[in-house]
Amino acid sequence: MSRFAAPIAEQIWDMKYRFKAADGTPIDETVEDTWRRIAKALAATEAEPDHWEDRFYAALEDFKYLPAGRITAGAGTERSVTLFNCFVMGTIPDSMGGIFEMLKEAALTMQQGGGIGYDFSTIRPKGAGVKGVAADASGPLSFMDVWDAMCRTIMSAGSRRGAMMATMRCDHPDIEEFITAKEDPARLRMFNVSVLVTDPFMDAVKADDDWDLVFDGAVYRTVKARALWDRIMQSTYDFAEPGVIFIDRINAANNLSYCEEIAATNPCGEQPLPPYGACLLGSINLAKLVNAPFAEGAALDEPALDDLVGTAIRMMDNVVDASRFPLEAQAREAQAKRRIGLGVTGLADALLMVGARYGSEEAARLTDRWLHAIARAAYLASVDLAKEKGAFPLFEAEAYLSSGAMQHMDEDVRAEIREHGIRNALLTSIAPTGTISLYAGNVSSGIEPVFAYAYTRKVLQKDGSRTEEEVVDYAVQMWRDLKGDVDLPDHFVNAQTLAPLDHVRMQAAAQKWVDSSISKTINCPEDISFADFKDVYMAAWDQGCKGCTTYRPNAVTGSVLSVSEASEDVPEAETGADVIYMSEPLDRPAELEGQTYKVKWPDSEHALYITINDIVLNGHRRPFEVFINSKNMEHFAWTVALTRMISAVFRRGGDVSFVVEELKAVFDPRGGAWMQGKYIPSILAAIGGVIERHMIAIGFIDGEGLGLKSDPQAQVVNLSGGRGPACPSCGQYEMRMVEGCMTCVSCGHSKCG
């Protein structure tokens, strides 16, 4: 019997987490091999590795504990990748040399697969004087554009684009430009952006007071606080960004407030981190821990939860020692504080199984109870590790216990920490779990509600035929298996019918026992009034949340997957959504037809010769592989790497025309060239143009600029009928906002990883 609850789960494992040789040959034959690989790697730091390997395997078995994707894909592979999910980089100096040193560090971190956060508040505002030169500063937004361009050129480990978060304080003189920057769809597309909102600012908003915009002690101008708040709200209402981070609340509640200051978060916001801070993530699958689901007396198995949390904490602590780090400063920071982020997934499914309606007072009470149990177990497990291995190096008992988060911790836990210390400075976080939730059988993601009870996805088979698969929520499938063809009970609720303030209630209930933060999206109906929309953010502030992210579908942000109102109806795949996802690469026939093109880049001694070979499926020709040759040996390494990557994408199938858009968007900082009366920003863009012309010639796309647009400079098309933007990975029109990040419900692709 397969351990996978659904075909999509096995496909996600094969695509994302299965260890394979460089030529694609599987090394992990089964998912049990994957669990064993992870368990063995994380037990290697122990004095008794065999004992702990078996304990770790038992925790991983049947998807009960889900390490984050970086750990699942990288542990035990000996690859030069980090097992940490997210980083906040060093403080950006207000100098040209310092800024570009930070840019280099960001590139090195993303190269190893880390998502990064930066606070751009430290850069002087646009128009400020620059000492020593007769010029005015260009401002932080101009340097964010440079970061954005760098990120577009780097493919993170694990075949995903680098993810970035940019923050700016609400009192920075350029805050208004920052708020509206992403209203230009071509700008800062590699960034999530959030405003750092302070307590005094919120007080000024409520009192309708003046608000000074300040840099380096100088007041640049004064605005009305409420007008600035409304500007943030309006941009978020129309464009889904910026997010809001209540930064003073984060610092006040930080266990380490005595030795660090936080000014930025990772890309999805659940990890506020200090300069060079890093965090690894993992989730307890609550959907696997319910006894007698849907029966009288159904309840979470809290003793099993306690034991599982203890094992997970030990595994995560070992990752600190087992992981590589892109920068030495990140390694030192991680070792000094041993910060980890244990969270949950499957919360909504677990609530359904015990008969609670997500968003209700009862569900909030259960969420508080379960998250409290996890926090207790996590802190006590870390105390036990401190007894055995020592407390984190910067531990100071009274300073630690006096922090905001620790003041409401149970007194017996505080006493244990006071006496024995604690191994990990922070322990809990609710991270995005979109992909690992699919891998675990399509359990509900993080603390989000069930998004859709079921949907269909198209899959292209090797022979070119198409099949449709039903993807059903884990709890809904369990209900069907237990009850048969019976209507779902009234307490079943999904994201389409949930009131926004019910989202806030659930986030606030979870936040009480989470010492870092929570990645959550509050879905709002398209017709919500602006006044009611603002009330959502004010409710998040009033109820103690550390931040707020909303998503209101509209013609700009894109619609979300349509879901039937009927309780058990399966939403049909959108008509006309003909782009499909291929389950595995096509085999290469012995002979292929193709064409070779010559590209002569100005100032280059030798030309490039680009060969594109095609395969015919169902009478239609499509690109299958690319080769690039040149006599210039300086080009050898990058052309080989490029052709292998492009060919791998082509063999996966679907609408691969997005490759053209990605290549054409690359610019060379040394300057491009004019070719045939047109400015080409880089040699890579020239290669993209050749591939585009070939796709047009074989009828794969209709014309120049008409390929799949992963670049938001293009207009989103066919939004009617409930369609969202096309997924840049599989091409399906099933992108939706989950946990603060656009995620594809068809293949699991996420902008934030």
Do 707 and 695 touch, CB atoms closer than 8 A?
yes
Give the confidence band of 207 by pLDDT, cuts at 50, 70, 90.
very high
* Strands 735-738 vs 741-744: parallel, antiparallel or unpaired: antiparallel
Q: Residue 730: pLDDT band by 50, 70, 90 thresholds? A: low
What pLDDT is attached to residue 184? 83
Name the 3-class secondary structure at 458: strand
Sign of CA dihedral 283, 284, 287, 288: positive
Whether the pLDDT of residue 516 is over 80: the answer is yes
Helices (H), 297-456: 302-322, 328-337, 347-353, 361-389, 397-401, 411-420, 434-439
% of the chain residues with pLDDT over 70? 84
Nearest alpha carbon to residue 185 among 753, 715, 687, 742? 715
Distance CA 505, CA 217 (A): 39
Read off the pLDDT of residues 82-138 as tens digits, 9 standing for 90 and up.
888 789 999 999 998 999 999 999 988 887 767 899 999 999 999 988 876 656 889
Q: Would you give the DSSP letter of residue 304?
A: H
- What pLDDT is stored for residue 433 in this prediction? 87
**What residues contact 660, with CB distance under 8 A and at least 6 apart?**
688, 689, 691, 692, 695, 701, 707
Extents of the domains making up the chain: 7-82+264-269+277-420, 115-250, 451-581+723-744, 592-697
**744 strand-pairing partners:** 735
* C-alpha distance from residue 627 to each of 392, 587, 590, 598, 639 (Å): 51, 17, 16, 12, 8
Q: What is the 3-state secondary structure (H, E, C) of 599-622?
A: ECCCCCCCCEEEEEEEEEECCEEE
Q: 389 Cβ partners below 8 Å, 6+ apart?
A: 317, 423
- Secondary structure (DSSP) of 176-231: HHHHHGGGSTTSSTTEEEEEEE-HHHHHHHHHT-EEEEEETTEEEEEEEHHHHHHH
This model's pTM is above 0.85: no
Q: For residues 254 and 252, what is the distance between their CA atoms, to the nearest angstrom?
A: 6
6 burial class (0-12, 13-18, 19+ CB within 10 angstroms)?
Answer: buried
Please tell me the predicted confidence (pLDDT) of residue 75: 93
Span between the terminal Cα atoms of the chain, in Å: 30
Which residues on neighbouring strands pair with residue 82, listed in sequence order?
324
Average per-residue pLDDT for the chain? 85
Residue 292: other Cβ atoms inside 10 A: 12
Question: Helices (H) and strands (E) in the chain — how many of each?
Answer: 23, 29
Q: How far apart are CA 370 and CA 354, in angstroms?
A: 13
Residue 583 has pLDDT above 70, yes or no: no
Contacts of 594 (CB under 8 A, 6+ apart): 611, 612, 613, 614
Number of CB atoms found within 10 A of residue 408's CB: 10
**What's residue 136's pLDDT?**
82
- Report pLDDT digits (tens) over 656-715: 788 887 888 777 766 677 777 777 888 888 888 899 889 888 888 877 766 655 433 233
Q: How confident is the model at residue 206 (pLDDT cuts 50, 70, 90)?
A: very high
pLDDT of residue 160: 46
**Rounded CA separation 689/684 (Å):** 9
Catalytic (active-site) positions: 266, 268, 270
Q: Give the bridge partners for 271, in sequence order.
A: none
Q: What is the mean pLDDT of residues 296-318?
A: 97
Secondary structure of residue 412 in the 3-state scheme: helix
The three-state secondary structure class of 232 is helix
